[in-house]
Amino acid sequence: GNSVTQMEGPVTLSEEAFLTINCTYTATGYPSLFWYVQYPGEGLQLLLKATKADDKGSNKGFEATYRKETTSFHLEKGSVQVSDSAVYFCALSAGSGNTPLVFGKGTRLSVIA
Amino acid sequence: NAGVTQTPKFRVLKTGQSMTLLCAQDMNHEYMYWYRQDPGMGLRLIHYSVGEGTTAKGEVPDGYNVSRLKKQNFLLGLESAAPSQTSVYFCASSYKGVSEAFFGQGTRLTVV
């Protein structure tokens, strides 16, 4: 079946450090890939997405590239801020219809000043 | 600009009590989902619906029932609450299965 594996947290970084959160997936067909972010006390919101191989999703300084050859969708940001502290979820939606989103377990990021 | 609205936001139940969580979306989305979020477990799908009048089981359906009588509403019921159902519940909706999902703010449920 479809599944997502993302790196265990928590991750603690100093402000302006480089961030990578690894995400790999298993899926049949050609899934769409997503990163969601959850700020404390809130629901999840879409951060970025990519719908086909070699697509790069980007938003708020975050980037992720859909790598079909390595089945990966790693999240990166060149310089994190305290306001980026949150839980990040990688997710996929399989290419066929009627299949709901599958989420990774989430990675908690704490950025300290 | 409501999006996805969950009711209630907080609830404490005694073991054996029943309750219904309501999810409403105003985006005319076909797909709706109920997830639960537990520490270290990420989001686990309870039930979902791909259209009005349809429901399907997710990863952890036991102890829950759902109904989608109207396209905009998706109800999650607990017939006899158990402490293991203490969790944060999120509703989400999407236009299609491959589209991004929009989430509600969550319902924090405690069963004592």
- B67 sits in which H/E element: strand B64-67
Q: Inspect the interface and report whether the beta carbons of B48 and A46 lie closer than 8 Å.
A: no
pLDDT band at A9 (very low <50, low <70, confident <90, very high): confident
| Closest Cβ–Cβ partner in B42, B48, B90 for A100 | B48
pLDDT above 80 (res B74): yes
Question: In B, what residues contact A, Cβ < 8 A?
Answer: 4, 31, 33, 35, 40-43, 45, 48, 50, 58, 90, 92, 94, 96-106
Integer Cα distance of B105 and A64 in angstroms:
26
User: Measuring CA to CA, how many Å separate A51 from each of A46, A91, B2, B14, B31?
Assistant: 14, 12, 27, 44, 18
Burial of residue A47 (CB within 10 Å: 0-12, 13-18, 19+) is buried
Q: Which residue has the tokens 């999703």?
A: A57
Q: Do B104 and A43 touch (CB under 8 A)?
A: yes
Amino acid A96: pLDDT: 61
Instruction: Please state, for a pLDDT cut of 70, what percent of chain B lies above it.
Output: 97
Q: Strands of B19-25's sheet, edge to edge?
A: B4-7, B19-25, B73-78, B64-67
Examine the pLDDT at B8 and tell me if it is beyond 80: yes
The per-residue pLDDT for range B11-46, each reduced to its tens digit, is 999 999 999 999 999 999 999 999 999 987 788 999
Neighbouring residues of B62: CB distance < 8 A, sequence distance ≥ 6: none
Q: How would residue B89 be classed by pLDDT, with cut points 50, 70 and 90?
A: very high
Structure tokens, B18: 């029943």
Label residue A95 by pLDDT band (50, 70, 90): low
pLDDT value at B96 more than 90: no
- pLDDT value at residue A1: 79
Query: Nearest by CB to A93, which of B58, B97, B105?
Result: B97
CA angle A83, A86, A87 (to 5 degrees): 160
